């Protein structure tokens, strides 16, 4: 078993024997937490009204470039509907996104970024670049590509 090598002893109840910083769950979670903290601090420093979570939703919408169903956005953002709805409502209040009924199916709500939302993402480009450069310092393009491949496989495993 791959994780077995992470244990210094075979006693699963002995949490002190686990090299926790070498487990995938902890390492991925910790890196994500630190990235989110950098983003939160950067957004506060830039006086942005966006949260890191709202920023990622808005970034997805600007990249998509056309209205998308809430359910599709939830799938892409890997968020539950309730959390996503709260984030969308906040983005609507900020006038960064709009919600419209699908003309072909009035039960469906479509979400899209506004010109204001698109501009907010463009304005935050330097912040995104700065955080990315800091996070990727000393990491080769090959290591990054391999890491992204592994993370994609982990995501697919967990979604299956």
Output the pLDDT for position 148: 94
The residues pairing with 135 across neighbouring beta strands, listed in sequence order, are none
* CB 97, CB 62: distance < 8 Å: no
Output the pLDDT for position 103: 84
- The first and second tokens of residue 20, run together, are 């926790």
Of the chain, the percentage scoring pLDDT greater than 70 comes to 88
The residues pairing with 18 across neighbouring beta strands, listed in sequence order, are 7
Query: Exposure of 88 by Cβ count < 10 A (0-12 exposed, 13-18 middle, 19+ buried)?
Result: buried
Structural domains of the chain sorted by starting position, each given as residue range(s) with its CATH number in brackets: 17-135 (1.10.10.10)
Give the whole-angstrom CA distance, residue 100 versus residue 110. 5
Output the pLDDT for position 44: 94
Nearest to 112 by CA among 74, 68, 46: 68
Output the pLDDT for position 153: 95
Buried b vs exposed e over 106-131: b needs ≥16 C-beta within 10 Å?
eeebbbbbbeebbebbeebeebeeeb
Residues 7-37: tens digit of each pLDDT: 454 544 455 556 777 788 888 999 999 999 9
Whole-angstrom CA distances from 142 to 82, 131, 139 are 38, 19, 8
Going residue by residue through the chain, which has 160 residues, state the pLDDT in tens, using 9 for 90 and above: 455 555 454 544 455 556 777 788 888 999 999 999 999 999 999 999 999 999 999 999 999 999 999 989 998 888 888 889 999 999 999 999 999 998 888 888 899 999 999 999 999 999 999 999 999 999 999 999 999 999 999 989 988 8
Q: Is the overall model pTM greater than 0.85, yes or no? A: no
Q: Tell me phi and psi for residue 48, to 5 degrees.
A: -75, 150
């Amino acid at each position: 078993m791959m994780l077995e090598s992470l244990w210094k002893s075979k006693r699963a109840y002995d949490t002190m024997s686990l090299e926790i910083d070498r487990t995938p769950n902890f390492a991925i979670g910790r890196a994500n937490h630190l990235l989110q903290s950098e983003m939160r601090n950067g957004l506060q420093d830039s006086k942005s009204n966006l949260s890191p979570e709202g920023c990622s939703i808005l970034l997805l919408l600007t990249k998509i470039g056309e209205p998308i169903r809430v359910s599709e956005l939830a799938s892409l953002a890997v968020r539950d509907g309730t959390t996503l709805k709260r984030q969308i409502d906040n983005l609507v209040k900020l006038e960064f996104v709009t919600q419209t009924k699908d003309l072909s199916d009035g039960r469906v709500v479509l979400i899209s970024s506004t010109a204001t939302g698109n501009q907010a993402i463009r304005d935050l480009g330097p912040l995104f670049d700065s955080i990315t450069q800091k996070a990727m310092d000393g990491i080769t393009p090959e290591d990054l590509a391999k890491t992204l491949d592994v993370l994609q496989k982990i995501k697919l495993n967990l979604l299956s």
